[in-house]
Structure 1
Amino acid sequence: MIHFGFIDAVKEKGKNAVIGEIKAFSPIKGDLLRGRDPLRILNAYENAGCVGISYITARSFNGSLEVLKRICRETELPVLRKDFVEEKAEIEKTAEAEAEALLLIARILKQRTPEFADLCFEHGIEPVVEVFSDEDLVYAEKARVVLINNRDIFNPSDINLQRTFKLAPKIKGFKISGSGISKPDDLKVLKVVNAVLVGTSFMLADNTEEFVRSFVEARL
């Protein structure tokens, strides 16, 4: 099964499946772009060997659909749009931006998650269902791609990689671990998931391409 364009890249021998996130702002760390063009970050991720790109369009992260469109036009890598989606109209906007995937947060959508996922498929978009706890798993039972968020979105300072190790064995399909991955040693989570998503630590690196490559090529 090929989900969100990652499987072939995951199978590439000697490479770790790393999704690079372009994040303009962090509620905790502040300005992450530091005057840089997002496409400069994109190029660094591509050159370093990322298997996919994530971009946060949420206004609280200083994101925008226009930047998402630029990213989608400029890369051949699969692009995941991340936002706090609560309205179906956002699915159409994601399709118009030509992103391959859209994040659906189970803690927000709850029982509406499967309905939103079906609508994503109708628009040619891969729904990526985000889970945080056992309570979320019921809404992700049929999801083909699941993102385990190690961070509590309602308490951003609460980050624990053990959430991945706890939830991953209970999830079928393609699994991604995100948040709290800040150094190559954290890639130990790849023992239980197919890919990792890294944002803030990449955005803060002095030499983005070199730092990202250290994750992609790290020996586990």
Structure 2
Amino acid sequence: MTSHFIEALLRAERPLVMEVKRQDADGIDLIAGRTPADIVAGYEAAGAPCISVVTGRWFGGTPELLRDVARMTSLPLLQKDFITRPSQLETAQELGASAVLLTAALLPASSLRNLVTAALRIGLTPFVEITGEEELAAVPNADACVIAVNNKDIRNRERGAGDIDRSLALLPAVRATGTPCPVSASAIDSPRTAARLLDEGFAGLLVATALLRTGRPQEWLAELDRSRTTDTRTLRLAAPAGGV
């Protein structure tokens, strides 16, 4: 049976996981005078199917932020943190998460397999983030997972512009796992970039800093809609054969 988190993304008109994050990788404040409640309300008004909550301390997060957001909304929530132990899965569920980030690049293959299995056992959706095709081999039960390509490098705390071409190159391999929900995550800096990724076949996107910085998610999404019918087609036609 498809999870609530995955179903919400697959049914959404705009399948974006919109993020609550206190600061970026360089420590710059992303809340900017607002409250998490303001941000969540804006996302709900914009039709967000799911919300990601960053509880990792690198980005100014705390477990309490997830608990607070869970009290504000009934949307399925993804906890983004560095989960390495099964006990953290139980805590995530208690705090209100529907899905949990599992970062393949930071986990031994055996740990990743164990965490995916443990998450599914208690009803959490594994949101498995990968950066290379070799990491996919360690993902069990991919048909019950979100498989997300991280366009940035977690080893340097996701600093830098990122590489959208990574998502485009890895999409066939991600689809081949059987996941119902291939996702592109991070470095999605504009509606045109988001439109291209969706039109290339991603079932969902995780968009964080761009939406937080604009402060006007509905306008950003309106531009996404316009880009999907015009700009993206132009970009495809302009792309060189065999490339992106």
TM-score by length of 1: 0.90
Report the equivalent of 1:74: 72
Query: Take 1:166 and 1:45, find their aligned partners in 2: how far apart are those partners?
Result: 30
Query: Take 1:70 and 1:132, find their aligned partners in 2: how far apart are those partners?
Result: 31
Match of 1:98 among 96, 99, 109: 96
1:106-117 correspondence to structure 2 within 5 Å: 106-111=104-109, 112-117=111-116
User: How far off its partner does 1:219 sit?
Assistant: 2.8
User: How far off its partner does 1:138 sit?
Assistant: 1.2
Match of 2:190 among 161, 166, 183: 183
Query: Take 1:77 and 1:216, find their aligned partners in 2: how far apart are those partners?
Result: 22
**Which structure shows the bigger proportion of residues in strand conformation?**
1
Report the equivalent of 1:35: 33
Comparing both chains, which one has the higher relative contact order based on Cα–Cα distances under 8 Å and sequence gaps of 6 or more? 1
Q: Tell me the alpha carbon deviations over residues 107-128 of structure 1, each in whole angstroms, 9 at most, x when there is no partner.
A: 1113111100111122221111
Q: Which runs of 5+ in 1 are unaligned?
A: none
C-alpha change, 1:213 and 1:114, in structure 2 (3 Å) is farther
Report the equivalent of 1:204: 213
Query: Take 2:160 and 2:8, find their aligned partners in 1: how far apart are those partners?
Result: 34
Q: Tell me the alpha carbon deviations over residues 123-181 of structure 1, each in whole angstroms, 9 at most, x when there is no partner.
A: 22111111011221112253221111011112322510111111111122111111111
Kindly indicate whether residue 138 of structure 2 is the aligned counterpart of residue 164 of structure 1.
no
How much is the aligned-residue C-alpha RMSD, in angstroms?
2.0
Kindly indicate whether residue 148 of structure 2 is the aligned counterpart of residue 147 of structure 1.
yes
Determine if contact 1:25/1:61 at 8 Å carries over to the other structure.
Answer: yes
C-alpha change, 1:32 and 1:157, in structure 2 (3 Å) is same
TM-score by length of 2: 0.82
Identity %, equivalent residues: 29
Determine if contact 2:151/2:187 at 8 Å carries over to the other structure.
Answer: yes
Query: Take 2:38 and 2:11, find their aligned partners in 1: how far apart are those partners?
Result: 27
Kindly indicate whether residue 145 of structure 2 is the aligned counterpart of residue 136 of structure 1.
no
Query: Take 2:102 and 2:4, find their aligned partners in 1: how far apart are those partners?
Result: 14
C-alpha change, 1:214 and 1:50, in structure 2 (3 Å) is farther
Report the equivalent of 2:203: 194
User: How far off its partner does 1:206 sit?
Assistant: 4.1
Q: Tell me the alpha carbon deviations over residues 80-117 of structure 1, each in whole angstroms, 9 at most, x when there is no partner.
A: 00011122221111011121000000111131111001
C-alpha change, 1:216 and 1:76, in structure 2 (3 Å) is farther
Q: Which runs of 5+ in 2 are unaligned?
A: 230-244
SS of 1:147's equivalent in the other structure is strand
Determine if contact 1:152/1:158 at 8 Å carries over to the other structure.
Answer: no
**Divergent runs of 4+, >2 A:** 1-12, 140-144, 206-220
SS of 1:84's equivalent in the other structure is coil
Query: Take 2:211 and 2:141, find their aligned partners in 1: how far apart are those partners?
Result: 31
**Which structure shows the bigger proportion of residues in helix conformation?**
2
C-alpha change, 1:141 and 1:88, in structure 2 (3 Å) is closer
Determine if contact 1:17/1:196 at 8 Å carries over to the other structure.
Answer: yes
Kindly indicate whether residue 37 of structure 2 is the aligned counterpart of residue 7 of structure 1.
no
